[in-house]
Structure 1
Amino acid sequence: MEANNINIHVQNPDGTLTTLEAPIDMGLSLMEYLKACEYDILATCGGMALCATCCVDVLEGEDMLHEMSDDEYAMLDTLPDVLPNSRLSCQLKLNQEMDGLTIKLHGGLN
């Protein structure tokens, strides 16, 4: 793995994990990267924390993430099936501290 990349693990619907090598030097959000990897994420609002269609559940590494903003919290609060470990992937900028993060697409989004 290059110094400018991190590993993100994505849990598939069948429970298996796919490891992705994500660049941290391009300023991408987790949502942008997952879309580039052709995961089925709508991201209707384009990453503005206005739609919650990019919601992911953080299975491992939640402590690696920055604190949730008020806007992100308010948007997640509109979901009927939000979990304590749910986050908007558009609000998570890829960075070195996220190396090893394990996520799955939230609810019906996978």
Structure 2
Amino acid sequence: MSQDITITITDREGATHEVQAPTDMNMNIMELVRAYELAPEGTIGICGGMAMCASCQCYVLNDVAVPEMGDDEEAMLSEAFNVKPNSRLGCQIHITEDLDGLAVELAPEY
């Protein structure tokens, strides 16, 4: 039986939101941000989660193990703005029970 996990998201205004994320819906961090309306409409997930725009770039803030970065994600981040060593694309981090306690911060829009 799947259960919801807790993820902490710091939005682009600096406000911190502790949200519940379902592990049984194949959602990712970008979709979670959209579901909770933590970024203005049209400013996150512009490419629809295809790792082609970096609008969902976020910074992983704690030691929760996120899945390995794929080639598409790595290529997109190599061209994105405001990239840090802990940058990831939210659309490429799928929500699983292993991510319970994850903390991320949304990167600046541009």
User: Is the TM-score greater than 0.5?
Assistant: yes
Name the counterpart of 1:47: 49
Any unmatched runs of 5+ in structure 1?
none
Q: Which moved more, 1:5-14 or 1:32-41?
A: 5-14
State the TM-score, normalizing by the size of structure 2.
Answer: 0.87
Q: 1:32 to 1:15 in 2, by over 3 A?
A: closer
**Is 1:107 matched up with 2:97?**
no
Structure 1 counterpart of 2:97, which letter?
A: Q
| Identity across the alignment (%) | 38
Instruction: Using the TM superposition, give the Cα deviation of residue 66 of structure 1 relative to its aligned residue in structure 2, in angstroms.
Output: 0.9
Distance (whole Å) between structure 1 residues aligned to residue 35 and residue 13 of structure 2: 21
Cα deviation 1:85-105 (Å, max 9, x = unaligned): 010000011001100000110
Instruction: Using the TM superposition, give the Cα deviation of residue 39 of structure 1 relative to its aligned residue in structure 2, in angstroms.
Output: 1.6
Name the counterpart of 1:24: 23
Task: Give the number of aligned pairs.
Answer: 107
Structure 2 counterpart of 1:24, which letter?
A: T
Instruction: Using the TM superposition, give the Cα deviation of residue 80 of structure 1 relative to its aligned residue in structure 2, in angstroms.
Output: 3.0
Instruction: Using the TM superposition, give the Cα deviation of residue 11 of structure 1 relative to its aligned residue in structure 2, in angstroms.
Output: 2.2
Structure 2 counterpart of 1:60, which letter?
A: N
Which structure features the higher share of helix residues?
A: 1
Q: CA RMSD in A?
A: 1.9
Instruction: Using the TM superposition, give the Cα deviation of residue 33 of structure 1 relative to its aligned residue in structure 2, in angstroms.
Output: 1.2
Q: Secondary structure at the match of 1:107?
A: coil
Distance (whole Å) between structure 2 residues aligned to residue 44 and residue 16 of structure 1: 22
Determine if contact 2:66/2:99 at 8 Å carries over to the other structure: yes
Structure 2 counterpart of 1:45, which letter?
A: C
Q: Which moved more, 1:93-102 or 1:6-15?
A: 6-15
Distance (whole Å) between structure 2 residues aligned to residue 19 and residue 52 of structure 1: 23
Q: Secondary structure at the match of 2:52?
A: coil
Q: Which runs of 4+ in 1 moved over 4 A?
A: 12-16
Equivalent residues in 2 for 1:70-85, closer than 5 Å: 70-85=71-86
**Is 1:60 matched up with 2:62?**
yes
Q: Which moved more, 1:9-18 or 1:96-105?
A: 9-18
